[in-house]
Structure 1
């Protein structure tokens, strides 16, 4: 039997009707995205924003290098703006990574537990993330609002624009963690098994 036919007979991990847990690749839509177009759109917006920020960051760095070493007239704002874009890229990416549940995780304890124990442990970890992200998002919003009068020295941007990167990132993490907790309760079959991602990468 060919590999294609064996794959056809195997459960499709992207089709939740077959009882799949997680997709084979982090780029593929997971259970929540398959069930909700709105949520899939949000995750796609996060992905596109990350790509745009990364490309813009690369462009700014290249512009800085060319202006400094080729024309010997470096711009004063490129380095500062690149740092701000790096902050936004970091926090928006954290939201996207949380949406796909591909954060680096230590599964030593989970690997010793049964299926029910894994679900309980995963839900507890998500609750911890949920509370932490919620507190940091609220505190960050208050801090960013108070920094609206401050301006960056080179670009003149309000510092609240910079600080709201953290607020956005933690808000996205809060949203995704809340959704994953709901799915753990309503659809425990979609909770990834311990070491599942590591084993899939090693295969």
Structure 2
């Protein structure tokens, strides 16, 4: 499972770096066409917006997998040391339930509904953009299972 996590981490890292690089080029081109040619490109604006959505969704899944996300640890920090592991595991379970219900289940059906609607500028189905939600949800579930397994083995 460790090997799969490392491979997934590397894939998401490269994917996010590529997205950020493409967004930088698109936004630079957008600024050039807007201010120097007085003719802004709608295609680059829409593409960079959609890539930003993907960057946020996949980046948040990556950060969750690294356990570097923002968390409210007030209750956990006040609890006795022998309960902290159970609180961390409970937190992972609650997040997993949310992700399954909202991101995977809800995101999947929203993606299917949006496949019939196309973007005016890019002429792509909007479901392609929305697909980042259930896909990143599945990645988060994998990371949650990995985190729970790691927490169970961890000594406090």
Query: Which category of TM-score, normalised to the shorter sequence, fits these structures?
Result: over 0.9
**Alpha-carbon deviation of 1:181?**
1.4
The answer for unaligned runs of 5 or more in structure 2 is: none
Count of aligned positions:
155
Contact 2:5 2:143 (8 Å CA) reproduced: no
Whether 1:71 aligns to 2:71 is no
Higher relative contact order (CA 8 A, sep 6+): 2
Whether 1:159 aligns to 2:131 is no
CA–CA distance in structure 2, aligned partners of residues 114 and 100 of structure 1: 25
Instruction: For residue 77 of structure 1, give the secondary structure of its aligned residue in structure 2.
Output: helix
User: Where is the helix percentage greater, Structure 1 or Structure 2?
Assistant: 2
TM normalised by structure 1 equals 0.72
The answer for unaligned runs of 5 or more in structure 1 is: 1-31, 192-203
The answer for the alignment partner of 1:48 in structure 2 is 14
Deviations 1:126-178 (A, max 9, x none): 00100011112122111101211110111111101011011122221111112
Match of 2:140 among 153, 163, 173: 173
User: Over the residues paired in the alignment, what is the CA RMSD in angstroms?
Assistant: 1.4
Contact 2:108 2:131 (8 Å CA) reproduced: yes
Match of 2:66 among 79, 100, 107: 100
TM normalised by structure 2 equals 0.93
- Greater CA radius of gyration, 1 or 2? 1
